[in-house]
Amino acid sequence: MAYALPGEARITGAVFVQNPVLVPRNHSLVSPPVILRLNPAFLMQMDEHRTRSLLQFMAQEGLEPSPEEEMKRKTAIDQLKQIVLAWIKKVAWQCHLPKDVIADASATVLTYGSYGLGVHGPESDIDALCVGPYFATLEEDFFTVLHSMLESQTEVSEIHCVKSAKVPLMRFKFNGISIDFPYARLPAISVPEYVNVFDPSLLAQVDDTSWRSLSGVRANKRILQLVPNLKNFQSMLRCVKLWARRRGVYSHLFGFFGGIHLAILTAYVCQRYPNASASALLCLFFETFSKWPWPEPVVLNDPSIPYRHPDGRSFMPIMMPCSPFEWCHSNITRSTYRKIVSEFQRGYVLTRLQDPGRMEFRWNNLFEAYPYTGKHTHFLQILLTADNDDELQEWVGWVKSRIRGLLLKLEMVQEYCDPNPTENVDHNITEPNIVFYWGLSHKGNTFINIGSLKKDFMKSLNTDQFADGNRNHCKLGLSIVQYSQLPKSLRLDASGAKGSEPCGETLDNNYLQKPVYSQYVPQYFVGYVANEQHRAAAG
């Protein structure tokens, strides 16, 4: 019997090698596994090219504010600090403190969130914490005296208080920039501008509300201390947040990730691969978490963080990087967990299983908006109305703070629910309104008892400030709508929906194994868990 021998194929910068295998000439030829050896110089060139293209994509998307916008924010914070300094001296005088104490009295403003991490965009708001000494109270001095002083400033507009939240705050615009402004009180006579928020002597006697207000600042500062390359971390986190927003997995209240979750996941990858470029880090992000053995917790590499097993209440436990080392608060449910995992896997497929011989990388595919109307045929419509915009804003905020309860009730009758956090407006309704459309499973029960669902959910809403007269003008409506009943702006054409279909499917775990060529690529380019030899080579 005659036999044939497969040959060898080449591409620029790489070589495909097939091992000799003897097969019958007339037998259907089954090619052996292909091994791809990449030239190290080509790898470096490819990585540099992809990083440049990623930075270009970020610029095109407008992810970073202009120098003028950056200066506007810095000026707003500087002016706010001056107002706070004048406020604390006024409070000290009203408390009849000694003149020398009044002269030395000070308070400060600490930024956190996206602005504090340096990953804010042109339209981002600012999370700014007011930190004052022991004699300045939350209810009287912060919500009354400081509120009055801010209200009198020409730069300040749309100011209102949110007292019932777990982290009470004022919310306002300063020269058009939205600012969330909570308060923390420290056991000190004066708070310097750059107070050490890790000082145990200051934190020992802090009240619970102030502790919760301080947690965001402390977590941000610790993350910035732990990442090996700040610039790469910031570039990567900007991209991760854009991806999460576009793919519908960025909304803590709706059962997905919040900003702190994404920051810690990003920092974890940066720590694990300190020598990787921004583009490689983004690929490694999806490589890491598409294969993560949840509920194994994500904990940053820091000797001061004690490892402990999660409490079993979270699908995706992530530990805060600062004392008392608690688990990040999570609203993730069975449905949202499935979607997050699916999106990690989609990101892995798009970033990892690319043609390794090509320089070009189409980043826009990764950040394509999630095709809700291409995935679902039935939707739960959540309509919120009020008499005016201010009441609507408070009503929407209150409902969103309780929305996880509605999601859990839906999961009891639905196999799967996809809570789209996007806020829409129905222009056919005269009252100010906000509308949400949640995707329902085509396998689930579309004959949902809306009356019972609404009655149960309203029980959780009829408390605190909405228990009495304030709720009379705030209404909530629930209904099941089909694709054809959606506003035209939300519908996708059939081709658009089909084109996105393969990207969102849940892949089999066997499909997520290392590609054959990965064993020949350094770990900081590919992202698999390298052996010690590769780690040494990576530095």
* 180 labelled catalytic: yes
* Local structure of residue 388 (DSSP, 8 states): S
Q: What is the dihedral of CA 277, 278, 281, 283, to 10 degrees?
A: -110
* 387 labelled catalytic: no
Question: Which of 81, 221, 241, 339 is the catalytic position?
Answer: 241
Residue 89 counted as an annotated binding residue: no
* 114 labelled catalytic: yes
Question: Which of 106, 112, 115, 127 is the catalytic position?
Answer: 127
What is the sign, positive or negative, of the torsion defined by CA atoms of 447, 451, 452, 454? positive
Residue 304 phi/psi, 5-degree rounding, is -80, -15
Question: Which of 114, 210, 279, 335 is the catalytic position?
Answer: 114
**E strand or H helix at 405:** helix 403-413
Residue 241 counted as an annotated binding residue: yes
Q: How far apart are CA 70 and CA 211, in angstroms?
A: 29
Q: Is the peptide bond before 295 cis (omega within 30 degrees of 0)?
A: yes
Question: Which of 112, 115, 183, 250 is the catalytic position?
Answer: 250
Question: Which of 47, 141, 180, 418 is the catalytic position?
Answer: 180
Question: Which of 89, 90, 124, 125 is the catalytic position?
Answer: 125
Look at strands 475-482 and 177-185 and give their pairing: unpaired
Q: How far apart are CA 129 and CA 186, in angstroms?
A: 12
Q: How far apart are CA 205 and CA 185, in angstroms?
A: 10
Q: The tokens of 466 are what? A: 């909405």
Sort 71 into a burial class: Cβ within 10 Å, 0-12 / 13-18 / 19+.
Answer: exposed
Nearest to 308 by CA among 283, 287, 325, 330: 325
From the CB of residue 335, how many other CB atoms can be counted at a distance below 10 Å? 22
* 194 labelled catalytic: no
Q: Are 283 and 351 in contact (CB under 8 A)?
A: yes
Convert 237-256 to b/e letters by CB count within 10 Å (16 or more is b): bbbbbbbbbbbbbbbbbbbb
The residues facing 162 across adjacent strands are 169
Residue 127 counted as an annotated binding residue: yes
Binding residues for Mg(2+), as ranges, are 125, 127, 180
Catalytically annotated residues: 114, 125, 127, 180, 241, 250
Binding residues, as ranges, are 125-127, 180, 241, 250
Binding residues for ATP, as ranges, are 125-127, 180, 241, 250
